[in-house]
Amino acid sequence: MEVKTSLLDNMIGVGDMVLLEPLSEDSFLENLKNRFDHNEIYTYIGSVVISMNPYRSLPIFTPDKVEEYRNRNFYELSPHIYALADEAYRSLRDQDKDQCILITGESGAGKTEASKLVMSYVAAVCGKGQEVNKVKEQLLQSNPVLEAFGNAKTVRNDNSSRFGKYMDIEFDFKGDPLGGVISNYLLEKSRVVKQPRGERNFHIFYQLLSGASDDSLKKLKLHRDFSKYNYLSLDSAAVNGLDDSANFRTVRNAMQIVGFMEDEVQSVLELVAAVLKLGNIEFKPESRCNGTDESRIKDKNDLKEMCELLGIEQSVLERAFSYRTVEAKMEKVSTTLNVAQAYYARDALAKNLYSRLFSWLVTRINESIKAQAKTRHKVMGVLDIYGFEIFEDNSFEQFIINYCNEKLQQIFIELTLREEQEEYIREDIEWTNIEYFNNAIICDLIENNKNGILAMLDEECLRPGTVTDETFLDKLNTICAEHQHFESRLSKNSMFLSDHSLPHSCFRIQHYAGKVLYRVEGFVDKNNDLLYRDLSQAMYKANHSLIKQLFPEGNPAKVNLKRPPTAGFQFKASVGTLMRNLQTKNPNYIRCIKPNDKKASHIFTDSLVRHQLRYLGLMENVRVRRAGYAFRQPYEPCLERYKMLCKRTWPHWRGPAREGVEVLMSELPVPAEEFSYGRSKIFIRNPRTLFFLEERRRQCLQDLATLIQKIYRGWKCRSHFLLLKKSQIVVAAWYRRYAQQKKYQRIKSATTVVQSYTRGWQARKLLRELKYQKRCEEAVTTISAYWHGTQIRREYRKFFRANAGKKIYDFTIQRIMQKYFLGLKSNLPSMSPIDKKWPARPYLFLDGVHTELRRIFHLWRCKKYRSQFTEEKKAVYEEKLEASEIFKDKKALYPSSVSQPFKGDYLEISKNPKYQKLSSAMEEKVLLADVVNKINRANGKGTARIFLLTKNSVVLADQKTGQVKASVPLPDLTSVSVSTQSDGFFALKLKEGSASAVKGDFLLSSEHLIEIITKMHRMGTTAADREQLDIDISDEFLVQFKHDKVCVKFIQGVPKNGNSVSCKRKNNRLLEVSVPTTA
Ligand SMILES: Nc1ncnc2c1ncn2[C@@H]1O[C@H](COP(=O)(O)OP(=O)(O)O)[C@@H](O)[C@H]1O
Ligand SMILES: [Mg+2]
């Protein structure tokens, strides 16, 4: 948490003299000394700041300090010049009151420094920004420029302001600086030509000579050596702690920031150089024949260089130094100047040149820093005027300076002491009057229009006849002799006749700050401030723009015979303006006190300080403050300012302001003796109370700010919300519109589709109807055409051939048939009877014909085939055909015989000699000869026999011998039995009772069974007289063996001993033949 130091806490001595106890001059002094020893250079008397010059830099002017004092209550922190500056600035910014800061004190007491501190503080705390910063910078940088030209080292102060300066800083409503106006008061120009011992000329001369580059010095025709210039006093050319060459750079830089053009700077420096040159011009007397003394310029080199610098014709200036032209009543009279007059003219020119240059600088700076905006602005004036001065030798300048200080004291008294007391009376506040010294009487002595010193000086200056300083003093002695504060040796008042401290050529004034002895010498001249017209005209002729500007009265076209206003008159007028100006503003006082005469730190000279606090009237100041009230304010602004501290007065008080304030104060925990109600103001006794009020107000303001912020934020949020809502509605409306548009378009296109379908459907329906109608119409047309045709045909039939259609049909059929037959002819299959191919049928209606033709063709093909056979081959095929008729599909052996040709004579009986006997025994031709197996009836075993078939019989013969064993006539054979299987067994059954049947039937087996049986069957067929031979095909048949009938049974079985067929006698009645299974 921030630790607050208060004016009333942790103090060294007492921070506010109002709180000093007991109050006496000694305790006052003691308190100041105590604080000074502890580096506390500032002390308050109420709102007046007493500032002691520390003569060394203290660490209390840092940016941190600025921040510390910024926006803090006056009484909150320990006394500081920043507190006063802050108070002034805030009341300017917040209460719209123009302010002035009046800084008073002796020369060297720290006024100029104080004014700079105030300005730098205000610059630090006021607004920022590019434009504002530029203005600030220019305002601050005007100081070094003016100090270089207007300050000089005096015995009292190394940097003493030799002019008075009042600067108005202008602010806008926010408290940002806009610009400023500087007023300057009476530059001590005598210093240009002569300086008292131990003092210097204005800084700029030394700065230029030590700081400028060799090059620019050469251009200005100057030498670096100070001793070469008469106007520069040598004894204190170098000052401790002053770096002239560094300062020169600072000045050049400052001029640039303030806005001086390069050529302007050069012109200024040329003028400075010209003044130095001017000082070096010396004159020598030359007696003329008429006995008068004339002056001549000793060495014209300096004159020449000066004329070159300023662009003046040398002869013109030379003449101006030798002659003086007086114009009176249209007459021009030229008189020569003696050496003294020539020196006077030279010095007058130098002083005028310099002082006019200084005034021009101020005007030029004002041009740069003047506020641009034409709006109404608030003003803070800072007055830093030369302090009260008492030298050994005091002249016109000191008189003027001290007069000015009198006026300032007057305004201080006006505003603090008298005003305050008068106010208590006016306001009907209980009050015991405090005595104080009012210096109005001294001001009157000096400035009274009728018999004031200044008025009399002017009178003397304007008076025709010989006017000298002595005549002026005489006048004073007569007129002011009675005045309490005027002292003169020769005045009628014999009081000072024997006062040897008062020389005859002097007069003494008892100023508020002490008695000052003025030497009257030079008063008239200085007041006249005369520059011979010849010189000003010579200057005007210069080919140098700045010089021309500075001497407008030299323009021969504007010859003005009227005397220019005197210096005293001008000064009085400007001081009068200044005072009126200050009275319109809220004053803030800084009263500077010099602790010692040695410009030394840590030395506190009691007597010196005591003297100052006396003449500054600080004791009275404290007394008035203590007796009265620290703070007062009219009821309206007071109520306005503090009304938020009480519920009843916030936010509005409807009744009279005074009542409002009374209500307000009664509600606050402030003791009743702490305040009084005046007629129009409330008076608050103690700063603590004010501080308390301010603190409460600050808290309340914070709360109010929060409230305002709250309401503002609420409003902002609400309006933002409403804006959003509005926007949302707009967006929603647009979106809905868009959505509806889309929906509408969808519906529309859907409708179009539905519509188009419906229309299509309707159209198609219509089309269908129309088509139907059209078909109906066509049908009707056709029917009617047919009908008409029929009718017509019926009518015309007799004229047509009745069977034309049939003929055409027949013809067509014929043609088709023809084409078919011709096609068939070229497409016939091969002549092979077994070829199964036949072309495809082209027409369905030819189906029967096609099949029939195929059959016929086949038959024909077969016939053709047959017709190429020989008789033998035919017989063979007949036999084969018969075999087929007998065995096909009845005996398994048959298929294998189909491909074997029926050879008949396998043994080639007739040719083979072996069978010669047998062949010859045969009466008939042998149709078949083969070897067969004769099955033994008893055991079933086979015996090979030659089997012969002739036309009438069957013969069995022995295979080896050829001896006939049996011969059976064919008619004795009744039937032949064979099995259904693939064996070669066959049984020849004989007719019962025949001769051959004695031994029983024969059971034989042959490889050519099919041929044998077929041939035997043929015999029966071919012989007409014979019975047909039966052929019995079965797997079980009976065979007659002698007396027994034996059953021969064929079974399928496994072949034994490699034999394909085995035969076995099973018993008397059964002979079993097992035949291998045909695969
Ligand atoms: N606040 C201060 N801190 C340090 N030195 C100061 C202060 N005030 C004045 N001085 C010293 O005193 C000298 C004279 O002060 P200045 O302001 O020029 O006096 P004045 O303008 O009253 O004649 C300055 O040059 C400076 O050295
Ligand atoms: Mg000063």
Asked if residues 987 and 1040 have their Cβ atoms less than 8 Å apart, the reply is: no
Taking residue 850's Cβ as centre, other Cβ atoms within 10 Å add up to 19
Query: Does 108 contact ligand 1 (Cβ within 6 A)?
Result: yes
Q: Which residues contact 579 (CB under 8 A, 6 or more apart)?
A: 407, 410, 411
pLDDT at 1048: 87
Catalytic-residue membership of 777 = no
Q: What is the pLDDT of residues 431-467, one digit of tens each?
A: 777 677 788 899 999 999 888 999 999 988 888 888 8
Asked if residues 423 and 632 have their Cβ atoms less than 8 Å apart, the reply is: yes
3-state SS class at 500: coil
**Which atom of ligand 1 lies closest to the CA of 111?**
22
d(CA 649, CA 657): 10
Q: What is the pLDDT of residues 986-996, one digit of tens each?
A: 888 888 877 77
Pairs from 292-297 (Cβ < 8 Å, separation ≥ 24): 292/336, 292/338, 293/338, 293/339, 294/322, 294/336, 294/337, 294/338, 295/321, 295/322, 295/336, 295/337, 295/338, 295/339, 295/341, 295/342, 296/322, 297/321
d(CA 15, CA 50): 10
Cβ neighbourhood burial of 659 (10 Å; 0-12, 13-18, 19+) = middle
Indicate which residue of 112, 527, 686, 933 is catalytic.
112
1035 has pLDDT over 90: no
Q: How confident is the model at residue 722 (pLDDT cuts 50, 70, 90)?
A: very high
Q: What is the pLDDT of residues 519-532, one digit of tens each?
A: 999 898 888 888 88
DSSP labels for 307-336? HHHHT--HHHHHHHHHEEEEEETTEEEEEE
Q: How confident is the model at residue 278 (pLDDT cuts 50, 70, 90)?
A: very high
Q: How confident is the model at residue 674 (pLDDT cuts 50, 70, 90)?
A: confident
Q: How confident is the model at residue 5 (pLDDT cuts 50, 70, 90)?
A: very low
- CA–centroid distance, residue 458 to ligand 2 (Å): 29
Category of 940 on φ-ψ map: left (φ > 0), alpha (ψ -120 to 50) or beta: left
The residue with tokens 């500007």 is: 549
- CA–centroid distance, residue 159 to ligand 1 (Å): 8
* Token representation of residue 982: 């693939």
Indicate which residue of 161, 368, 566, 996 is catalytic.
161
Query: Does 109 contact ligand 1 (Cβ within 6 A)?
Result: yes
Q: How confident is the model at residue 695 (pLDDT cuts 50, 70, 90)?
A: confident
Q: What is the percent of the chain where pLDDT is above 70?
A: 95
d(CA 613, CA 635): 34
Closest to 402 (Cα-Cα) out of 106, 102, 50:
106
- CA–centroid distance, residue 601 to ligand 1 (Å): 11
* Token representation of residue 559: 């010859």
- List the residue whose alpha carbon is closest to atom 3 of ligand 1: 57
State the DSSP H helix or E strand holding residue 743, giving kind and residue range, or none if neither: helix 687-796
pLDDT at 1055: 58
pLDDT at 2: 36
Indicate the range of 156-160, 254-258, 548-552, 920-924 predicted with least confidence.
Answer: 920-924
Query: Does 405 contact ligand 1 (Cβ within 6 A)?
Result: no
222 has pLDDT over 90: yes
DSSP H helix total and E strand total for the chain:
33, 31
d(CA 864, CA 874): 14
**Which atom of ligand 1 lies closest to the CA of 117?**
1
Residue scoring higher pLDDT (923 or 713): 713
Beta bridge partners of residue 20, listed in sequence order? none
Catalytic-residue membership of 160 = yes
Q: How confident is the model at residue 305 (pLDDT cuts 50, 70, 90)?
A: very high
Catalytic-residue membership of 157 = yes
440-447 vs 453-462: helix crossing angle, rounded to 10: 0
The residue to mutate among 113, 146, 160, 163, having the most atoms of ligand 1 within 8 angstroms of its beta carbon, is 113
What's the Cα-to-Cα distance from 791 to each of 20, 776, 796, 803, 906, rounded to whole Å?
161, 21, 8, 19, 90
Indicate which residue of 53, 91, 154, 157 is catalytic.
157
Q: What is the mean pLDDT of the chain?
A: 86
d(CA 300, CA 797): 170
CA atoms within 13 A of residue 486's CA, in its CB half-sphere:
24
What's the Cα-to-Cα distance from 139 to each of 50, 143, 362, 487, 834, rounded to whole Å?
26, 8, 12, 44, 145
Catalytic-residue membership of 975 = no
Catalytic-residue membership of 676 = no
The predicted model gives 673-681 an average pLDDT of 86
* Token representation of residue 671: 């003791």
pLDDT at 1026: 67
- CA–centroid distance, residue 195 to ligand 1 (Å): 21
* Token representation of residue 20: 């000093």
Q: How confident is the model at residue 720 (pLDDT cuts 50, 70, 90)?
A: very high
Catalytic-residue membership of 161 = yes
Strand pairing class (99-104; 586-593):
parallel
pLDDT at 687: 64
- CA–centroid distance, residue 592 to ligand 1 (Å): 10
Query: Does 159 contact ligand 1 (Cβ within 6 A)?
Result: yes
Question: 373-406: string of b/e by CB count within 10 Å (b at 16+)?
Answer: eeeebbbbbbbbbbbbbbbeebbbbbbbbbbbbb
Catalytic-residue membership of 108 = yes
Closest to 439 (Cα-Cα) out of 469, 474, 489, 404:
404
pLDDT at 802: 66
Bond before 595 cis per omega within 30 degrees: no
Q: How confident is the model at residue 898 (pLDDT cuts 50, 70, 90)?
A: confident
- What distance lies between CA 953 and its chain's CA centroid? 142
Whether this model's pTM surpasses 0.85: no
Taking residue 837's Cβ as centre, other Cβ atoms within 10 Å add up to 9
pLDDT at 958: 86
3-state SS class at 101: strand
Indicate the range of 169-183, 438-452, 544-558, 628-642 predicted with least confidence.
Answer: 628-642
Catalytic-residue membership of 1006 = no
* Token representation of residue 72: 């803090």
- List the residue whose alpha carbon is closest to atom 6 of ligand 1: 55
Of the ligands numbered here, which is closest to the C-alpha atom of 105?
1
Indicate which residue of 31, 73, 143, 160 is catalytic.
160
7 has pLDDT over 60: no
Q: How confident is the model at residue 6 (pLDDT cuts 50, 70, 90)?
A: very low
The predicted model gives 939-957 an average pLDDT of 85
- CA–centroid distance, residue 61 to ligand 2 (Å): 19
pLDDT at 630: 67
